[in-house]
Structure 1
Amino acid sequence: YRSIFESIKWMDKSLRTIVILEMFTCFFIAMSAPFYVVYAKEVIGLIESQWGLIMFISGLLGILVAFPLGSTVDKIGPRKMILLGMFLAPVIIWSYQYMGGFIGVALILCGIVLCNNIMMPAFSTIIANSIPRSRRGRIYSLLGERGISISFGNFWGGGFLLFPPAALGAYVGGYVYTLNPNYPWMITAVALLIAAVMALLYVHEPKEAQQ
Structure 2
Amino acid sequence: DPIIQSFQYVTGNLRVLTITDLLGNSSRRLVFPYASLYILALGGSATQIGLIAFLSLVAGLFLLPVAGHITDHADRIRLLVLAGFLSTAFLVLNVIAPTWQVVALATLLSGLVVFQFPAYASLVADALVPGGRGQGIGMSSMISSSLSLVAPFLAGLVVDRFGNNLGLRILYGVMVIFSLVATLIQMRFLRETSSMPREPLHLNALLNSLRHSYREIPDLVRRMPGSLRALALVIMLCFVTQSLVGPFWVVYAVDHVGLTAAQWGLTLLAESIVGIPLFIPAGILADRWGRTASLTLALILSTVASLLFVILRGFIAILILRAVLAACFVLGAASCVALMADLVPSDSRGKMMAAIGQGGIQLGTVGNPGGPGVGYLMVPPVMIAGLAAGFLYSLNPVYPWIAATATGILAAVLTVVFVRNPKDTV
TM-score (norm 1): 0.91
**Alpha carbons 2:244, 2:403 under 8 Å: kept:** no
Question: Out of 374, 379, 382, which is 1:158 matched to?
Answer: 374
**Alpha carbons 1:126, 1:206 under 8 Å: kept:** no
Aligned equivalents of 1:27, 1:127: Cα separation in 2: 19
**Unmatched runs of 5 consecutive residues or more in structure 1:** none
Q: 1:90-131 deviations in whole A, cap 9, x for unaligned?
A: 211110112212212111222111111111111111111112
Aligned equivalents of 1:199, 1:120: Cα separation in 2: 14
Relative to 1, partners in 2 of residues 1:72 and 1:24: Cα closer, same or farther, differing over 3 Å? closer
**Alpha carbons 2:259, 2:315 under 8 Å: kept:** yes
Q: 1:49-83 deviations in whole A, cap 9, x for unaligned?
A: 11111111111211111111111111111111011
Question: Out of 354, 358, 362, which is 1:149 matched to?
Answer: 362
Shift of 1:147: 5.1
Structure 2 equivalent of residue 73 of structure 1:
286
Question: Out of 15, 26, 31, which is 2:239 matched to?
Answer: 26
TM-score (norm 2): 0.47
Deviates more, 1:23-32 or 1:50-59: 23-32
Aligned equivalents of 1:28, 1:124: Cα separation in 2: 18
Q: Is 1:128 matched up with 2:344?
A: no
Aligned equivalents of 1:161, 1:89: Cα separation in 2: 24
**Alpha carbons 2:294, 2:331 under 8 Å: kept:** yes
Of all paired residues, the percent bearing the same amino acid is 29
Shift of 1:43: 0.3
Structure 2 equivalent of residue 192 of structure 1:
408
**Alpha carbons 2:298, 2:331 under 8 Å: kept:** yes
Determine which structure has more spread, i.e. the larger CA radius of gyration: 2
Shift of 1:204: 0.6
Q: Which amino acid aligns with 2:314?
A: G
Aligned equivalents of 1:133, 1:114: Cα separation in 2: 30
Structure 2 equivalent of residue 101 of structure 1:
314
Aligned equivalents of 1:192, 1:129: Cα separation in 2: 23
**Alpha carbons 2:246, 2:367 under 8 Å: kept:** yes
Structure 2 equivalent of residue 140 of structure 1:
353
Shift of 1:207: 5.9
**Unmatched runs of 5 consecutive residues or more in structure 2:** 1-212
Q: Which has the higher contact order (CA 8 A, sep 6+)?
A: 1
**Alpha carbons 1:26, 1:169 under 8 Å: kept:** no
Q: Is 1:50 matched up with 2:263?
A: yes
Count of paired positions = 208
**Alpha carbons 1:89, 1:189 under 8 Å: kept:** no
**Alpha carbons 2:242, 2:368 under 8 Å: kept:** no
Question: SS at the partner of 1:134?
Answer: helix
Aligned equivalents of 2:238, 2:338: Cα separation in 1: 19
Q: Which amino acid aligns with 1:204?
A: R
